[in-house]
Amino acid sequence: MDAGERTELVPDGDPFALFDAWYREARACEPNDSNAMALATATPDGRPSVRMVLLKGHDRQGFVFYTNSRSRKGAELLANPQVSLLFHWKSLRRQIRVEGPVERVSEAEADAYFASRARDSQLGAIASDQSEPLDSRATFLARYEEAKARFADKDVVRPPHWYGFRVIPEAIEFWHDRPYRLHERRRFERKAQEWSSTLLYP
């Protein structure tokens, strides 16, 4: 592509429609975990931490993921419910940043998603005290086997501390690679229910 190419690859308009279009492309061609996103949280005194999680639902209300609320990220989300997300699709040379507060999904929504998980994943959620010190992997596997025996011949019940969070976007920023680092960035921001956008220097 010519460095002087003027065609905008990140147009103004509806940020959710643009996210949907980019996400569909990523789901079709990104080789691994196209729904992976970096989740950045912070403690009440501002100490940041970041890790990869999986997007499990999205619509105009927000972006949903699930976790053990007793984990480090769960504790930080409950203490300081402001986060950033980052999607990076290397094969497409694109990234999307999302910023905003989080809220818990409903119990019914959490139950429905937990029921859709593979049984071994459900048992893993029962067995894991996520983020707590572990003396050996053998201990964790023994706890998994205990959970497997306990729930033999019956449905695995969602632990009450395992549920979903919805990130309610207040800003969504799209980045598209261009030759010679003449990249394209557009930032959408929400005021009340109205969205506006502007291009940013790369």
8-state DSSP, 73: H
pLDDT digits (tens, 9 = 90+) for 46-92: 999 999 999 999 999 999 999 999 999 999 999 999 999 999 999 99
Please report the domains of the chain, with CATH numbers, ordered by start residue. 15-117+159-200 (2.30.110.10)
Question: What residues are labeled active site?
Answer: 181
For tokens 């694109």, the residue is: 94
Q: What is the pLDDT along the chain (202 residues), one digit of tens a residue?
A: 455 456 778 888 999 999 999 999 999 999 899 999 999 999 989 999 999 999 999 999 999 999 999 999 999 999 999 999 999 999 999 999 999 999 999 999 999 999 999 999 999 999 999 999 999 999 999 999 999 999 999 999 999 999 999 999 999 999 999 999 999 999 999 998 899 999 999 9
CA–CA gap between residue 111 and residue 95 (Å, rounded): 31
Residues whose CB is less than 8 angstroms from the CB of residue 10 and which lie 6 or more positions away in sequence, other chains included: 18, 174, 175, 176, 184, 185, 186, 199
Provide CB contacts within 8 A for 195, sequence distance 6+: 14, 15, 188, 189
How far apart are the C-alpha atoms of 41 and 91, rounded to whole Å?
A: 26
Q: Tens digit of pLDDT for each residue in 38-50?
A: 999 999 899 999 9
C-alpha pair distances (Å), 20 with each of 17, 47, 51, 71, 106 = 5, 32, 23, 30, 23
